[in-house]
Chain A
C-alpha cells in the first residue's frame, strides 16, 4: 500500500491516498483495476464474448482437468470464454450503472433544487413524489416496467435512472434550503441576481460535494439492482453478457460447473465492495465534521 510514495502529498490525490486506511486503499487500487479492465475489455479479452464453441462447453478453468488452453476461467454452457464474457459483462454492468446513476442524479438533482428554491406548493408536490418512491419497493416497480416495456438497453437505463433519484432530491433540497439562508445568497439577491443565476452560480458549487458522495453510494445499489433484474431474466437479453445474467444462467450449472456462476458473482462482490468503500471514504473526506475527528 506504499506503492505510490512518489505521489506528492501536496497534490489532491496524494492527500486523499494518505487519508485512507488499508482497506480503503485496497478498494481504490482494486476499483481502478476493475474499471481499467472494463474499459480495456476489447483489447484484453482473448475471445469474442458471444462466440460459441459447442464442442468446448463447460470446460473448467486452467489448472483443472479438462481445461482448454487459452480459456483462463473456463467456458460456459455454450462454450464461450468465461473471462471474456466477464470482462464484457463488467463493462456493460458498469456502463449501465453509471448511466443509470447519472440519470438519477440529473432527475433528482433538478427536482431537489427546484423544491429548495421554489415555493411551498411545488416543494410539497416534489416531496410527496419522493415519499411515494421511498414507500414503494423499487424492485417491484422495475419488474413491472421491464415486463410492460420490454428489456431493451434504453428501458434498462431508464429503470436504473429512476432507482434512487429521490435520495438526490432530498439531499439537494435540504442543502439548498440551508444555503438560501446564508448571507452571501442574501447579498446576491439584494444585488438583483435572478433565482436561476443564484441557483447556478452560488448554490450549485456548494452542493457538489454531497452529490458526489451520494452518486458513489448509489452506484453500488444500482449495480446490485441491475444484477438482480438480469438474474431474474428481465435484464439485457442473451447472448449479451451482464454479470447478473451470467449468475442467473450459471445457477443451473452450480453442481457440475460452478465456475460459471462463481466468476461473475465474485466480480459483482468486488465491484460493490470497492464502490461502497470508496463512497464511504469520500463521504468521510467531504464531511468536515468527520474529517476533523
Chain B
C-alpha cells in the first residue's frame, strides 16, 4: 500500500508536466458493452471512471473513503431515510447536453426501480434498499431509502450510480419519450457520460478510444487521446510494449515480472488486488447436492501451494472471505476455509462419492493464471480420489445448470463486507439469480442483521454466522487475492489507486503523467 501511495504522490507531482499526449494500453480483455449501470465485471471496471461521474466522489488516493463533491456539491440527510443533494451547475454531457436534475433522477431510478433485467440484478444485489429519487428543483434531488442506510455515500459512489443523459438515452430507439430496454442496449454501444474523456470509438471486445472532453466540469484531462486495444496473450502484450505499439500492458502474470524488470526501458507496478479469485460450486448440480462433496472439493485445494507456485508467494491467501480493506469489519480471526486432504477423503467416503467426473470450468486467459490454477486444482482433486477434468469455455458458464465448479472473482466494490461477499452472495443476488446458490429464511435473517445493523459488533457477529453457513453448505472458496501487475514504459507514471475498485484505468488529472 505504501508503494501505491508513493507512486500516487509522484504522479500527482509530475502531473503538471503532462502536455498534449497520446497513450495506448494493451489490455488482456476489452468489454463487449459499456454501460456502468449493468456492468460489474473486472473487464468493464477498467473503463468507466474516465468517462462517467458519480454524485459523490472520494479521494481515490486513499484506501479509506474521504468523500468529495462529484456531480453533487452538497448532500444532507434531511430525514433518516431521505438524502437531499444539491447538483453541480454547469455540467455538460459528452453530447453537449447540460446535466439537469431530470438526468440524475432518470439515471438513479433506472437502477432503483429497474425494469431492464440486467439492471434488476444490480438493483437486487447492491441497491435494493433504495426506493426512488425525486426532483425537488432544477438543482436539487432527493433520494429515498426503504430503511436507514448506513452506507449512503458509499452506494452513491458506485459505478452503478454514475449519471447518464436522459433525453439522449431515451431517443436511442423506439419512442424518444420512453425508456425502453432497447434504449439501454443501444446506450451500451454508444455510451455518453460527464467524465474528462469522451468515448470516441468503441469496437466491442477489441478497442476503446478516449478523447479529452474539453467541456469537462473539473480539471482537464492530461491526455489528448487514449487507445485501449485488446491483446489477449501476455507475451503479445509484452511484445507490443517493447516495440512501442503500446505504452501500458495490463494483467502481467508474476512469471513475467523478472523479464520486465531486466529491461531498462520498462517497469512494472502492482500489488495484491482487493479482489478474490474464487472457486464457485453449483449447489444445485445433481452430483454436488450433498454438501460433503463440495466441502471435500474445498478441503482438497492447497491454496498456499498455489500462491507459492503460481504467484511466487505475492498473492494473499485468506482464511475467510475477508480483507484488510474492510476496516473495522476485517475479521482474520475467522477460520472458514482450510486445506485438509485427509478430511476430504473421509467426506467423500461418507457421502458415497461414486467416482463420477467433476468438471472445473475456466475461460482461457480471462483471469491471470486462471488456466494454470484450474489445472493445479484438478490435479489436487485427483490426488484425493476425485475424477476431475477441465472445461475450457469461451464464455461465462455460471448460469449453466451443467456447471459444477469454476473460477470467478469476488471484487471489493466498496470498503465493506457487503461490497465484496455481500454483493455476490446476497439473497436474490447474482449467484442465486443464476440458479447455483440457494438461500433460505435463516440465511435471509442473518443477512438482514449483517446488512442493516448499526452496531459494528452485531454486524460482525452476523457476518461470522454467514461464513459459518458457507462452510457448512459451501458455494464459494476464496482462493487468493491475486497479485496484479501493469507493465509500462519507464517514462510513464501511472499506478492503480487504492481508493478505486480493482482494475480501474484512471487517466484523470493527477493520475497519469509522462516525464519526457
Binding site for B on A (CB under 8 A): 50-52, 54-55, 57-58, 77-79, 147, 233, 237-239, 251-257
Are A238 and B234 in contact (CB-based, < 8 A)?
Answer: no
Query: CB-CB < 8 A to B444: which residues of A?
Result: none
Query: CB-CB < 8 A to B389: which residues of A?
Result: 237
Are A52 and B376 in contact (CB-based, < 8 A)?
Answer: yes
Minimum CB distance partner of B235 in chain A: A252
Are B255 and A77 in contact (CB-based, < 8 A)?
Answer: yes
Report the separation of the CA atoms of residues A257 and B394 in the bound assembly, to the nearest whole angstrom: 27
Query: CB-CB < 8 A to B305: which residues of A?
Result: 54-55
* B364 touches A (CB below 8 Å): yes
Partner of A78, one of B233, B253, B258, B372: B372
Partner of B376, one of A78, A252, A255, A257: A78
With A54-B308, A55-B308, A79-B309 in contact, do A238 and B375 touch (Cβ < 8 Å)?
Answer: yes
Task: Tell me if B's interface is mostly helix, strand, loop or mixed.
Answer: helix
Are A255 and B256 in contact (CB-based, < 8 A)?
Answer: yes
Q: Beyond A54-B306, A251-B233, list 20 extra A-B contacts (CB 8 Å).
A: A50-B379, A52-B375, A52-B376, A54-B310, A77-B255, A78-B372, A78-B379, A79-B309, A147-B394, A233-B364, A237-B389, A238-B371, A238-B390, A239-B390, A252-B233, A252-B234, A252-B256, A255-B235, A255-B238, A255-B259
Report the separation of the CA atoms of residues A256 and B235 in the bound assembly, to the nearest whole angstrom: 10
Query: CB-CB < 8 A to B255: which residues of A?
Result: 58, 77, 252-253, 256-257
* B245 touches A (CB below 8 Å): no
Interface residues on B, range: 20 to 34
A-B contact count (CB 8 A): 58
Query: CB-CB < 8 A to A57: which residues of B?
Result: 309
Shortest Cβ gap from A240 to chain B (Å): 10
Query: CB-CB < 8 A to A251: which residues of B?
Result: 233, 235
Are B390 and A237 in contact (CB-based, < 8 A)?
Answer: yes
Chosen A-B contacts, 23 in total, with CB atoms closer than 8 Å, are A50-B379, A51-B379, A52-B375, A54-B309, A55-B305, A55-B308, A77-B255, A78-B372, A78-B375, A79-B309, A237-B390, A237-B391, A238-B392, A239-B378, A239-B379, A251-B235, A252-B235, A252-B253, A252-B255, A253-B235, A253-B255, A254-B235, A256-B259
Query: CB-CB < 8 A to B378: which residues of A?
Result: 239
Report the separation of the CA atoms of residues A238 and B238 in the bound assembly, to the nearest whole angstrom: 25
With A54-B310, A237-B392, A238-B392 in contact, do A256 and B256 touch (Cβ < 8 Å)?
Answer: yes
Shortest Cβ gap from B480 to chain A (Å): 14
Query: CB-CB < 8 A to B376: which residues of A?
Result: 52, 54, 78
The 8 nearest A-B residue pairs measured at CB: A54-B309, A255-B259, A52-B379, A252-B235, A256-B259, A252-B234, A251-B235, A239-B375
Shortest Cβ gap from B63 to chain A (Å): 32
Query: CB-CB < 8 A to B238: which residues of A?
Result: 255
